[in-house]
Chains A and B, each alone.
Chain A
Amino acid sequence: MLLSAFLDSSHAATCHRVRGRRGVLPVLFFLLLLLLLFSFAWGRYDVPLAQVPRILLSRLLPIPCTWTSAMEASVLHIRLPRILLACLVGGALSLAGAAYQSVFHNPMAAPDILGASSGACFGAALAILLELGRSGTVLTAFAFSLLSVALVYLAGSRCRGSRVIGILLAGVMVSSLFSAGTSWIKLLADPGEKLPAITYWLMGSLAGARTSELGFAAAAMAPGALPLLLLGWRINLLTLREEEARSMGVHTGRLRLAVILCATLLTAASVSVSGMIGWVGLVVPNLSRKLSGNNCRDLFPTVLVLGALFLLLTDDLSRNLMATEIPIGILTAFVGVPFFLLIMAGKDCAS
């Protein structure tokens, strides 16, 4: 469905006029609400669609009880945290991707490029190995993803020649360093218990969503997302050449650093609660560019909503498509890789 939407919109983009796309956001928002409703109803334990809004509202309004306690437990305690986490992680990874693309002048950039994802994976694997517990895992993953981004930024900005290329290359290097570290940890891990835990976590999943994690994720994502949304207009100027942006009165160095920090915070928070969910940060921003244009003022809100929509849909599929749950990272790769090739083939895609 998303792929056909992409093809349709790439056709639309060949028309020269690209105005009047403000209407996209309300439509996406409506679709998201619709999908939210279905996501509560759809699952191993069937909840009638009509009961979903009643159960949700029963916490706020006095509504006569017309549902079973199993339905209530399934909606409020199992599906609600998971659905909210899918929306948060989808929106955060996508926004991070869009921000990186603007800073690195590169429509192929994704949160993975700064090594944030692989750093977080290393940290989480280490925490599982050392039995640091669930919250310890989250914090360690977070710390290591920030560390790897700092490494990439320092190494990349000292590179001779183009700094943008330098940072991309440093990202590849640091990623592979942390991947090697993760492999080493897997080698050391006890194959009976810890190794499966690490492997499952690396594949990425929203299955273990709990309310406590939800709070952590939201608290870590808000300070990343808000500045990006507010700085949207100025971030546009970062996509121009350095001297152009500076001649128009922008402190490019400070702004670039701020955007990278915010985007990394978003990535690290997402990866540390849901494991390695790749490709979202590449697919969603590029689709959004088709829908709302490249102006970050319009792009960033679109990216947030579309990212939530995308990951929620993928997660619905991951828990309902087969008898056993498919890790969501596998599904996003199935969508992401063909999409990546599509972008590569059509040079024009981002413009």
Chain B
Amino acid sequence: MRLQVEKLRFGYRKLPVLQEVSFTAEAGDLLCVLGPNGVGKSTLLRCILGLCRQNEGRVLLEGRDVRDLNPRERAEHVAYIPQNGRMDLGYTVEDTVLMGTTRQLSLFARPGPAQRACAHEAMERVGINHLAGRLFTRLSGGEQQLALVARALAQRARILLMDEPTASLDYGNAHRVLSTAKSLAEEGYTVLITTHDPQSALRFGNRVLALKDGLVLALGRPGAVVTPRLLRALYGVDCRFVPGASGPLIDPTGHGPER
């Protein structure tokens, strides 16, 4: 599924957030969006979800403008995996994953055997079948993130948007979640991840989009785009790149004045 963003411009009230953002992601891409805090990474995801309607420019899903689609049609194409599973009322993991199948249901229907099978398939895919009966609110951060990935898979959309999936995870869980994302991209999903960690963009991404001041600073293959110069421009940190077994390792050496 192809995702095209063309000259996207968006601001809250008079404060511009995204000035002019254009890029394309294809099936099989794991696109990592890098950028300092507050640069509009989450806003970009909201625009792609069709939740910021007053934007300029276009977001096209397989050639159709998201703003012309109703919520159900958008849900057929794009699934959203939020940063952390804040949930006020606890549901079981199975019910949580089943919520992803809601777009298949008519207004008054409840999930039936077909949806249950779909949910179990999704849980199996990310390896959390054993958690089905547990309460979502009592899972660890990593398990919650995987359950949200399973929910997105149960939605059967081909574009997955992950908002800082590793933000509050320990090292092992972050690795597990990113590996899952990578293998999903290899299966033909279009995966878009916002992240604060250039190292994981290097390690897992096959494309990188760097945002600064609402503009695209760089777009391309991680090896070509993620350079000491880019990191200095994005974060004001000086780095050396050290050759590692599976690509370069980033070694921060110092930082300039706080911006």
* Contact surface of A with B, Cβ cutoff 8 Å: 16-19, 101-102, 105-107, 230-234, 236-237, 239-241, 243-244, 246-251, 289, 293-295, 297, 350-351
Contact = CB atoms under 8 A, between A and B. Distances in A.
A240 B88 CA distance: 8
Interface string B71-106: 110111011101000111111100100011011010
A16 B102 contact: no
A55 B252 CA distance: 87
B133 A233 contact: no
A116 to B, nearest CB: 22
B88 A106 contact: yes
Contact of A18 (B75, B110, B133): B133
Contact of A251 (B71, B91, B110, B135): B71
A316 B178 CA distance: 60
Interface residues on B, range: 35 or more
27 contacts: A16-B134, A19-B92, A102-B89, A105-B89, A231-B108, A234-B102, A236-B99, A237-B102, A241-B82, A241-B86, A243-B46, A243-B51, A243-B82, A246-B49, A247-B49, A247-B75, A247-B78, A247-B80, A248-B155, A249-B74, A250-B102, A294-B90, A350-B88, A350-B89, A350-B90, A351-B135, A351-B137
A247 B74 CA distance: 7
A17 B82 contact: no
Nearest to A297: B110
A113 to B, nearest CB: 15
B71 A17 contact: no
A240 B102 CA distance: 13
B228 interface: no
B102 to A, nearest CB: 5
Interface of B: 46, 49, 51, 71-72, 74-76, 78-80, 82, 86-92, 95, 99-100, 102-103, 105, 107-111, 133-135, 137-138, 155
Residue of A230, A237, A294 with highest tally of chain B CB at under 10 A: A294
A289 B87 CA distance: 15
Contact of A250 (B49, B71, B109, B138): B71
Given A244-B80, A247-B80, A351 B89 contact: yes
Nearest to A244: B82
Given A233-B109, A248-B75, 15 more contacts: A18-B92, A18-B133, A19-B92, A106-B88, A107-B88, A236-B91, A237-B102, A240-B99, A241-B86, A243-B51, A243-B82, A248-B102, A248-B103, A248-B155, A351-B135
Contacts of B51: 243, 246-247
A348 to B, nearest CB: 9
A16 B103 contact: no
A231 B71 CA distance: 17
B119 to A, nearest CB: 13
Nearest to B75: A249
Contacts of B134: 16-18
Contacts of B133: 17-19
Contacts of B138: 16, 351
A337 to B, nearest CB: 23
Nearest to A230: B108
Nearest to A233: B110
A149 to B, nearest CB: 22
Contacts of B105: 233
Nearest to B72: A249
A294 B92 CA distance: 9
Contacts of A16: 134-135, 138
Contact of B102 (A17, A19, A230, A233): A233
Contacts of B110: 232-233, 297
Contacts of A249: 71-72, 74-76, 102-103
A239 B87 contact: yes
Smallest CB-CB A-B distances: 8 pairs: A249-B75, A249-B103, A351-B90, A247-B80, A249-B72, A230-B108, A19-B133, A105-B88
